[in-house]
A and B are shown apart, each in its own frame.
Chain A
Amino acid sequence: MPSPDLAREAERVLRICAACMYCDGLCPVFPALTGKHEHSGAEKIYLANLCHNCRACWHDCQYAPPHPFAVNVPATLAALRRESYADHVWPGALGRGFRRPALGAGIFVGVALAVMLMVLAPHGSWAALHRARPGPGSFYAVAPLGLMMGLAGASAGWAVLSLVISTRRFWRAISGEARLRLSPRALMLAAADIVTLRHLDGGGPGCNETGPRFSQRRRIFHQIMVAGFVLLVAATLAAAFFQHFLGVMPPFAPMSLPVVLGVAGGVAVVVGAAGLLAIEAKPEREPSERGETRLNLVFLVMIEIVVLSGLALLLWRDTAAMGPLLALHLGLVTGFFAAVPASKALHAPFRAAAILRSAAERLSRRRREARNAATFE
């Protein structure tokens, strides 16, 4: 549960917003307040996750400090959002990771080191790793296929399982009292909002990540990073296909499908995450919530490290550095997936769930309006 102070502050702020409604064109958070005198706990965490933190409402707010009402919607909703991650994550013990982001970073580093040691142990020393010969099958000389598959499968499986259960818990919480009708149209609408990150447009002109000036930077860098991630998944699938069905052993040729997809995806992730890091590293202090900024920074740095280690492996795979680099990359990938459930990664499915509820409500409102219009005719 959010702390009583935070819940009270959110209630106070949302009340003022519901009375004002000047921001109703900026994003769906404000129209959802229409006519509401009070907001349940579930309603609040729904709104907190529907908020994309574009900060347009901070710069447009006539009641922002130094006004005595001191309305700060982005920071209030960010704090609530972080609490909602902590309250719904499975297993619950990971909740601490959202109050202290060191937990996620700790899992990442700890698991990465453990895996590196696991890879290293059979070889006896780093020096022995250096002696691994390049060429087809050389990766498996460093770490056997079974070990690699086991580590990747277990860590990715853990991440997916945790995200699925956490998201189910969150969805139950926010959809319980809403009585939603999830039509295919609602799913399409939600998907479109997610792919375009529509709610980062501030109602049209863009985000306000560094001041009253609008910008689409966050939206663009975020989607470059996501596209890169999709390409990396595709590269992995392609690699599996090459190996199992074509019998080609890694490392694959530079112009082969897995490598091309992997390089494109890797570069996109590095560029996208770097752009987001640049924005996140010097946020406007007042509308930012420090805990969320820290979560973002930890997550982005983790992503950069993992993907850079993969690109480094590709670059130097024909040299004596291949063995240590492979051990490093394998460790970091495993550590990353192990840490995902306690990381900012949770924002993706939670926000998607909130967008889905918003889309379903928008459709039912439209249906209602159409019905009313028909009655009057």
Chain B
Amino acid sequence: MPTTWDVLVIGGGVAGLSAVIAARRLGAAARLIESAPLALRGGNARHARNFRIAHAEPQFFAPGAYTEHEFLSELVRTTGGGTDVDLARSLIADTTDVVDWLAGNGVVLQNPAIGAIPFSRRTAFLLGGGKAMINALYETAEKIGVVIRYDSEAMVLGQNGAGLWEVEIRKGAATERVRAQTVVAASGGPGLRAEGLILRGGAYSDGAWMQRLIEAGARTIGDPASGHMVAVDARGPRVDGGIVTRITALPYGLVVDRDAFAVESPGAGSGRTHYARWGARIAQCPEGLAFLILDAEGLSRAPPSALAPVRAATPAGLAEALGLDGAALARAVEGAKKLAGPPFFAFPMRAGLTFVHFGLAVDGSMRVKMRDGRIFPTLFAAGMIMAANILPRGYLAGLGVTLSVVSGRRAGEAAARHALA
């Protein structure tokens, strides 16, 4: 093994994998550090399903067309003009060959004619979902000679006199110093600690490495207090619940808080954006807790969710099962014209955080900017750690994986070129 790596990639999600594969394909000696164990590798991409790509003509994986211009204007709209338009435009241009690149690295897409996926002109679906993609990319990385370490966390970063990075990596009780010409930070976005909040992504993407880079002088972008949140089942796991604990049937029923007061969410209709509005609204409820009450008709309209609803014949019975005040819930149910009658069903809910609109500022080559206005020439950032450059607010379906691939690939190639020059 080399004493000095050309490219050291920190984080084994789809951004890190894209970076390390791209760097290795240019001939760089590349090493990947993943903090999760093998079984939980891959960051939040494990929970991904589809990814957004621009395409000018119908493709086998996506019908119709979705132009780069349309992609960009939707991004500008959803971020209220907050996106870095030049960077976004150039990254969106890169999305046109993401499908070919992924397929060339072993990732299989789903034929839309097979299965039950919704019609989607904007996104391509991964056969078997994000974990299948992750498995394929790890296999490719190993095959082409990337050295991979699991259960390994990068702790301390420093530069020696020769300008080489010295990174301390901890695996269990053992510590190892790794020297590298370039470092790609692809360790995911920051976490957000708030009372009652559930993290939809994995426990290993905790933002600790990003915090260390900020302490080392990296400039940040976005708002650390703003995140994309949706309603999730409060009975689900505190982290890593992914897609299946999401509660989406809120428009079909009554939402009450811990005191059994009806909760309204202004502007949360039944459109596509209602999920995020409800997430933020529930986060503001006392203890961050709310309950969705449905009648049989409402439940039949709800898509299946991982945990069966609480069921009772009367509002009083439901209140008892949920630990709510019976009289107050009865009043709320009566006041809500939405509920026809027994039996009643309920889902306890909390806000589930998808990602935070906060990260490291980067330039067009994914090099990390410094607070003093300079640029780290050999430190790159890719994936959700730099997503706030593109997505300082709002969300577009399937953008996480796309952004991770295009930024990862660009960072990996730039790092390799720098190291090999």
Contacts and interface: CB of A to CB of B under 8 A. Distances in A.
Interface of A: 15-16, 18-26, 30-31, 33-37, 56-57, 59-69, 202-205, 212-213
Contacts of B110: 24-25, 203
Contacts of B363: none
Contact of B306 (A16, A26, A31): A16
A202 B132 CA distance: 11
A24 B128 CA distance: 7
Contacts of A68: 237, 240
B130 interface: yes
Contacts of A35: 303-304
Contact of A59 (B130, B131, B237, B243): B131
Interface of B: 37, 39-40, 46-47, 49, 108, 110-111, 114-117, 125-132, 135-136, 138-139, 237, 240, 242-246, 299, 302-308
B39 A25 contact: no
A293 B242 CA distance: 32
Contact of A62 (B46, B116, B117): B46
A25 B127 contact: yes
A67 B237 CA distance: 9
Nearest to B110: A25
Most buried by A among B116, B128, B303: B128
A23 B128 contact: yes
Most buried by B among A36, A61, A69: A69
Contacts of A213: 139
A65 B135 CA distance: 16
A20 B131 contact: no
A213 B106 CA distance: 10
A20 B115 contact: no
14 contacts: A15-B308, A19-B305, A22-B49, A22-B129, A24-B114, A25-B114, A25-B127, A31-B116, A59-B131, A60-B128, A62-B131, A63-B244, A66-B40, A203-B108
Contact of A19 (B39, B46, B240, B304): B304
B307 to A, nearest CB: 8
B323 to A, nearest CB: 23
Contacts of A24: 110, 114-117
B128 A203 contact: yes
B244 A25 contact: no
B131 A61 contact: yes
B369 to A, nearest CB: 34
B358 to A, nearest CB: 25
A265 to B, nearest CB: 35
Q: Main SS of the interface on chain A?
A: loop
Contact of A60 (B132, B138, B302, B303): B132
Contacts, number: 109
A63 B304 contact: no
Contact of B127 (A34, A37, A203): A203
B128 A22 contact: yes
A126 to B, nearest CB: 56
Contacts of B131: 59-62
Contacts of B308: 15, 37
B130 A62 contact: yes
A363 to B, nearest CB: 15
Given A25-B110, A30-B115, A69 B128 contact: no
Given A24-B110, A30-B115, A59-B132, 7 more contacts: A15-B307, A22-B130, A22-B243, A25-B128, A59-B128, A67-B237, A204-B127
Contacts of A19: 243-246, 303-306
Nearest to A26: B128
Contacts of B305: 15, 19
Contact of B47 (A21, A25, A62, A64): A62
Contacts of A25: 110-111, 114-115, 117, 125, 127-128
B306 A15 contact: yes
Given A62-B242, A203-B110, A205-B108, A57 B303 contact: no
Nearest to A37: B304
A16 B245 CA distance: 9
B116 A34 contact: yes
B310 to A, nearest CB: 14
A99 B245 CA distance: 35
A20 B299 CA distance: 17
B128 A63 contact: no
Contact of A36 (B37, B117, B129, B304): B304
Contacts of A61: 131
A203 B128 CA distance: 8
A180 B128 CA distance: 29
A324 B123 CA distance: 68
A63 B127 contact: no
A64 to B, nearest CB: 7
A327 B204 CA distance: 65
A26 to B, nearest CB: 6
A60 B420 CA distance: 36
B98 to A, nearest CB: 19
A273 B46 CA distance: 36
A202 B129 CA distance: 13
Given A15-B308, A203-B128, A63 B115 contact: no
